[in-house]
Structure 1
Amino acid sequence: MVDDSLSATFAALADPTRRSILARLAEGEATVKELAAPHAMSLPSVSRHLSVLEKAGLVVKSRNAQWRHCRLEIGPLLELDKWMEPYRAFQARLDRLEEHLKTMMRDREAGGPAGADG
């Protein structure tokens, strides 16, 4: 079976708790306990979410004495961003088409070039 890191990233991001954890880690490193604080769930539940994020390569854990620190790993998000680029370009083309059609309609309503009989 081929390792599909993009699918792992999407699967990890599918859960709002995991997205919240990533948002917190975007501010800087945090302990598991700090990451669990805003969530109404047990530490083992938060650890399971962190495990999914780790397997997707989005979080790296380190140990300093008895504390487990977590940090955001941006690489998988950059890969996802690269994958999405063609879709953003397509959306930009649709936006330009929409503006062009609006301009044509305004010109037609004003009796301008689109509505002129020549």
Structure 2
Amino acid sequence: MKNRVLLFDKSSQGVDLKKVKELAIKILKEADLTRVELSLVMLGEDEARQLNMDYRKMEYIPEVLAFPLTKEEVDEDGWTRLGDIVLCVDEWKREMKSRGGEKWKIVEEWLRHALKNLLK
């Protein structure tokens, strides 16, 4: 059975959501996860900083945040809802400049890191 990735681009920066979704599905498959649902949200730096402050009491712009769902929130339909991963598009662009444009490698690293946090 396949996995589901829900995407929300709130950054208004023209992110290639199809490619981000492909990477997320690849990572879920490599982790031997099936029938899981993952939500990915792309945000700008102001929104990412605010989330970091609201939920972690840290006042900086994060690259990526992970918000796991509790066991009680797993649906009865057999699908496991892992939670939300938030990627800061502005931080992504800064990281691309410092690393010479490794655009998709950066996102893949961030998604792997966030997924590891969701599965703890």
Query: TM-score category by the smaller chain?
Result: under 0.3
Structure holding more strand per residue: 2
Larger-gyration structure (1/2): 1
Structure holding more helix per residue: 1
